Structure 1
Amino acid sequence: MTDPSQAVRDEPRWPPALAILAVLGLLAVLPHHVYLMPVWVAHGVAFAVLVTMIAVTLKTGNILWLRIERTAIMLFAAVYAANTAAELADMIGIITLHPPETRSISLLSSSLAIWVTNVLTFSLLYWQIDRGGPYGQVHGASAKPDWLFPQAAAPEATSSDWRPMFLDYLSLGYNTATAFSPTDVLPLTRRAKMLMMAESAISLLTLVIVAARAVNVLT
């Protein structure tokens, strides 16, 4: 039988770490981006997540660091999800209450920041929730999947030890934000369906209301 800790040990942490750094860099260079959360809070939470990922990489199979990583990512997702929703509400308020003063560049950069952050936040959540996340796979907290991937439905087309990793959940988050519905990955639990509904709603409002308004006012 396969050792669960070995399964977690085989999953690299550089893809989610690189995704977090990419989003932080994107938010830093976007012009006239609307900020509701202090920058030091965003950077502090992201730094805490990156530190725990480094610790998990150096101390492979360590249940304590996996638990800390899970807690840090959940905190990161909660902070960024709340900030994303607040920024979206603020942008909609700007459009509806002050349309003559709306700046197209500010709307475009803010809508891009909201959309990208939305995809990353929910991708990290999906990764940590499905099957109990890396911590649950070692601790044995949960073995039931929240999503059905096509590889699991067609085992003859893939290797016997295949399991979803962060990049699979990043693809799930991207498809949910662009298609506004399940694509090749099907939600199996109610919490999975609710999370996908929330991500789709944020993405839909961002693209239809904010981005459409920004394009409309471009000269």
Structure 2
Amino acid sequence: MTGSKDDTTDDQVPAWARRTTGESRLAATAAIVGVIVLQLVLPEQFSPQPQWLLPALEAMLLAVLFIGNPVRIDREGRWLRLVSLGLTAVIGIATAWSVCRLVLALINGHVGDDPIVLLGSGGAIWLTNLTAFALWYWQYDRGGPAARAHARKPFPDFMFVQMQNPDLTDPTWEPEFADYLYLSFTNATAFSPTDVLPMSRPAKLTMMLEAAISVITMSLVIARAVNVLK
């Protein structure tokens, strides 16, 4: 009788607040591979040199994570956490370099007059920046995907609408990488929270930084493209 009651209580707890099997690695892996490809096709002036070095390091770290958690991200370990954060940091450093180089080139006029190259480079850097922040949100919220799978931290850093409306949400719903990618996209385009609210101060500061980078990058690239196109 007691076991039945416990099972019923557990079923009433939403998936995001209890222990689960962990999310699939597929979406995050695809996003990281996409970032690596974009880094390799960027013009040399916007990439750290040698251009292959950071993408190769990112691919190596991704392979290590894939070995540690090949299907679902549910295995915890200090070394896995450090490698995962290291990979996100390398992507962030490479993206920050590209953003700075692009902004300086636009301000100093050291970019070509080909609007296709300009918009393509700006779009690629904007996409890598968007994905880098999505990875940071995904890694930070409640200790990361593995910690969320084990329900280590009860208080979320980001409040999704599904958490606010449990009666209108599938009880098996829990935030996955696609949700953080959506958060990053809306913040990078609206320059403010939309339907996902930052709850902790670090989450607010990170979203503020992304919005600032996005508005500066987009405004400079668009202004330069309009000037070139006349």
Give me the TM-score of the superposition, normalised by structure 1. Answer: 0.84
**1:44 aligned residue (50, 57, 68):** 57
Pair 1:60–1:153, CA change in 2 (3 A): closer
The answer to whether structure 1 residue 80 and structure 2 residue 91 are counterparts is yes
Q: Which residue of 1 aligns with 2:37?
A: 25
Contact 1:146/1:188 (8 A) holds in 2: yes
Aligned length: 216
For residues 51-62 of structure 1, the aligned pairs below 5 Å read 51-57=64-70, 61-62=74-75
- Over 3 Å counting, the alpha-carbon distance change for 1:153 and 1:161 in structure 2 is same
CA 33–12 in structure 1, closer or farther in 2 if over 3 Å, else same? farther
* CA-to-aligned-CA distance 1:89-145 (integer Å, 9 cap, x gap): 222222222358555344322211211111111111111111111232356652210
Shift of the 50–198 alpha-carbon distance from structure 1 to 2, 3 Å rule, reads farther
Higher deviation after alignment, 29-38 or 126-135? 29-38
Unaligned ranges ≥5, structure 1:
none
Structure 1 segment 127-206 matched on structure 2, within 5 A: 127-137=138-148, 141-206=152-217
Runs (5+) with no aligned partner, structure 2 = 1-9
Could you tell me how far 1:153 is from its partner in structure 2?
Answer: 0.6
Task: Say which one has the larger Rg.
Answer: 2
Query: Cα offset for 1:190?
Result: 0.5
Identity, in percent, stands at: 38
Distance in 2 separating the partners of 1:60 and 1:78: 19
- Number of the residue aligned with 2:129: 118
Please report the TM-score for the alignment, with normalisation by the length of structure 2. Answer: 0.80
**Coordinate RMSD, CA, aligned:** 2.8
User: How far apart, in 2, do the equivalents of 1:175 and 1:13 lie?
Assistant: 23
